[in-house]
Amino acid sequence: MHYATISNRLGGLGSDKWAVHLSARAMKEAGTPILELTIGEPDVGPDPVLADVVASALAEGRIGYSNGRGEPPLLNALSKRYTARTRRQIGPENIVCFPGTQTALFAVMLTLVEKGDAVLVGDPLYATYEGVIRSTGAEMVPVPLKPEHGFHMRADILEQAITPNARVLLLNTPHNPTGAVLTAEELAAIGDVCRKHDLWIIADEVYEELIFGGGFASPLDNADLAERTISVSSISKSHAAPGFRSGWAIGPAAFCERLLPVAETMLFGNQPFIADATAAAIERPSGVSATLRASLKRRAALLVDALSPASGISCAMPEAGMFALADVSATGLSGEAFALGLLADEHLAVMPGSSFGDEADGFIRISLTVPDADIEEAARRISRFAAALNEEKKVAEA
């Protein structure tokens, strides 16, 4: 039977990257107690306004078809939010709404690139980015993000990675999985490179409200970069509502006109009752982000401190987000081998760094969305497993 080539391009780029997580779930279902620190799902309830407005909207019959761009209350709320943030007029013509950031990324990428084009993206990278890029037929070009630079993208390294067919830079700040937060100065330097090579910038900003210290900067907020920048985000992290699947893309009006028929062909709008709840949520400060941010920062510091004496383990404090990266390369194992051994021996599930690119191969990603006691227990298990590896190495060398 015939299959479209997209199924070949995406082979191994979906759930295969989550093999350790899926193995952990299977062990759990079979009755083995597993301490799971794999995915980034907020461990606080959603912003209370969401449930209240959804209930009201459903009672009012807000379950009909929407339009392709977005419900007027949500478009107006996003317009006010981004006009205030950028200090430029952002109107409904600059916005297209989607069921979540992932869908927005897919539609935006499909609008900008195709076979023969290339997309630059920092490595490490979020696990779905490669699939989003390759789905269009475009080539992914990794830009190394080095631990010695705090995993911050460097303009000079970006310049070296650019190919003649490069069309887009996919930027993620605050960054998953590293927690790196780019400054306005760093973004300006990166933007200079993008202007020089006439690149679009897609900025995934879903962790905007989970920065542990300092402010948030966006290329969309830089007037010199606004005409080449598309910002995508959602309420998944800021309002602890990943299951609501409510996101958006903000960009130049001419781009959004191109994006709109792509979005309409895929989805033709999101659910009015969810759009109403999203509008109400973003019209005011998040009711949960401050609490979530404080707990994530505390847990990150707790983990870093608890792992500091561990043999062969190095864990740096992230600047934002829901994860910490631990360097396990000094144990002699790859991140994948370490994660698999940790699951088998200690019944602790973490993500191997290789799920997030070649530059993270010697790392494991540890989710911070569990109680403090679980973070402490995870650190004990990681330390114990690393110590056992060290003893095995000593015996082998004796």
pLDDT given for residue 13 in this prediction: 75
CB 236 within 8 A of CB 16: no
pLDDT for 7: 87
Least confident segment among 17-21, 23-27, 65-69, 331-335 = 17-21
pLDDT tens by residue, 240-281: 999 999 999 999 999 999 999 999 999 888 899 999 999 999
Angle, alpha carbons 364-370-373 (nearest 5°)? 100
Q: Residue 90: is it exposed, middle or buried by C-beta count within 10 angstroms (0-12/13-18/19+)?
A: buried
Q: Place 391 in a pLDDT band, splitting at 50, 70 and 90.
A: confident
Q: Which CATH superfamily is domain 5-45+288-397 in?
A: Aspartate Aminotransferase, domain 1 (3.90.1150.10)
Structure tokens at 199: 């690149």
CA distances from 72 to 44, 56, 76 (A): 29, 17, 6
Q: Are 295 and 322 in contact (CB under 8 A)?
A: no
Instruction: Give 211's pLDDT tier (boundaries 50, 70, 90).
Output: very high
Assess contact for 177 and 17: CB atoms under 8 A: no
The single-letter DSSP state of residue 244 is G
Give pLDDT, residue 11.
Answer: 83
Cα(221)–Cα(231) distance, rounded to whole angstroms? 10
- pLDDT tens digits, residue range 283-340? 999 999 999 999 999 999 999 999 999 999 999 999 999 999 999 999 999 999 999 9
CATH of domain 48-282: 3.40.640.10
pLDDT at 17 over 80: no
Give me the pLDDT at residue 91, please: 98
Which residues 6+ apart lie within 8 Å of 121 measured at CB? 129, 130, 133, 140, 141, 142, 143, 169, 170
pLDDT in tens, 139-155: 999 999 999 999 999 99
Q: How far is CA 363 from CA 68, 127, 243, 325, 342, in A?
A: 41, 14, 28, 6, 13
The pLDDT > 90 percentage for the chain reads: 89
pLDDT the model gives residue 255: 98
37-88 pLDDT tens trace: 998 888 889 999 999 999 999 999 999 999 999 999 999 999 999 999 999 9
Give domain limits for the chain. 5-45+288-397, 48-282
